[in-house]
Structure 1
């Protein structure tokens, strides 16, 4: 299959990008499998320290000689960089106490919370490690990063949730734009306007972005099978980025409970919530989301809320407590198939794509 403009740009043979997952959901095995299958495997590294990023890129290079991407979050101005004191944190900690008790976890203390790694140090380590592709969400990469990546021959992808964001990314010098519709699972990357003003569906967003920019466009959100892939390419995308369906594969780092939930009837209902990280993200509505719905606007911003929730998310995953964990999922989650190897999923995706093209 011809991967078109993006294939020539990135050196991939299939117009398929695996969505990057943070919070332990990415895996080297998954990224390598997708890259070896001809797509662009990806790894979400926004919570990794600089030395961990160095090791990650080395491990990916050892697992595949094909192109892969490593993803970082661009810091936003509204995110707290200084940690609240204990008095400020106390009501948020008390609110979470019943869930710590339910999971057998000790109560949180302010000293248990660690700030996220420094973005500048992360990106310096990433560029020095030399992955074939770097990708960014939450904003345009800094000019110095784009310039250094270009000097090193590293391709740069940026993620847009609106047409204006896509134009801003092209002006910033990215090599391709990921047009991420509101259907997509996980964190929303809006950076020019609030999330509530940036919720454009994938199949409305893609043709507008394709008309507005000259760089290749990757359609993301609500694409889980060959029908969605065919539709995205017909609307002007050069490739598709698929997240939730790859999250359901054997190689992903998602917990068994999370993977089971993706293909369940519960996955028909997803919500946008700030409860797990302090940033808006799409996931399956479960007991925690419903119990805490009244506090959507009260929880602290990222990264404070993310740190407050870290032990609950981790323990819920380890104990198979789908009712209490963050079950990130896009609106096409019911179309996913559990327990497929990533290469088998790619094969099925392409077969479905060709069938859909023939029907059209």
Structure 2
């Protein structure tokens, strides 16, 4: 028995076809939006690719770009079918391929849903990528004369200024690395030599941060060095001077920025998926209502449309039987090939 059977007359079929045509072109615009968001997200990641540990984070924006292009093509084709369905002669040429087209739509909707899930879960992958990438970037901050790293200082400074952050987890991360190049250190100074010699790895470590960590809202001039030494500065307590520098790390700031962006894109892709499912269901009703016309030359007659030709349980069982028969066919062909090879070897 057909699932969710509905009766259609000419007026209902025309309204359905026209409504689907509008929805398909709305879905084309949604596909363009998905493509644009994927491109925008890819550009945003490229801006800070130096601070990321690998290129796996570009998989999701690349998938969004691909899905957006596919949505434009699929929905434009569906809109053409709905437009031609009003003329029986034109619709007849599309009728043989409609089942395959609807099957492709099911797979495409599954891909859309998978893409939306990836958008929501990408924050986890970004967390590890940014944690390691920022840590390495801070180590290369001083290498302004090294090819391939000469722009790292600029990238990190702009990031800390734009996102109002300091360090990886917090500003104390700068205390653990040498971020001042040896080129700008006076090794004739006993203070510099003592500080370098006192470090096991021979690094010049200071309790200081780059200028980009300074908060411009601070009422006093920015204190960048000896941040935890209250006696080194007049009327200063590093526990209460929260306005002096940015207190939170760039990892959380960037995760919040990219995470919010991906949640928005994921929600948008989910809405596009719902729209795609809606037009797919509508096209199935349109197809079946036109196929069940007793006489295609008399479109005024009533016809029936349905979502599935059989019940959901029967449809699943039939699908599984087809899959099993395909598997058995592949095994038989493999066995025949093996026998032919054995005969050829013996002869």
What interval of TM-score do these two structures reach, taking the shorter chain for normalisation?
under 0.3
Larger strand percent: 1
| Superposition TM-score, scaled by structure 1 size | 0.18
| Superposition TM-score, scaled by structure 2 size | 0.19
Higher relative contact order (Cα pairs below 8 Å, separated by 6+ residues): 2
Larger helix percent: 2
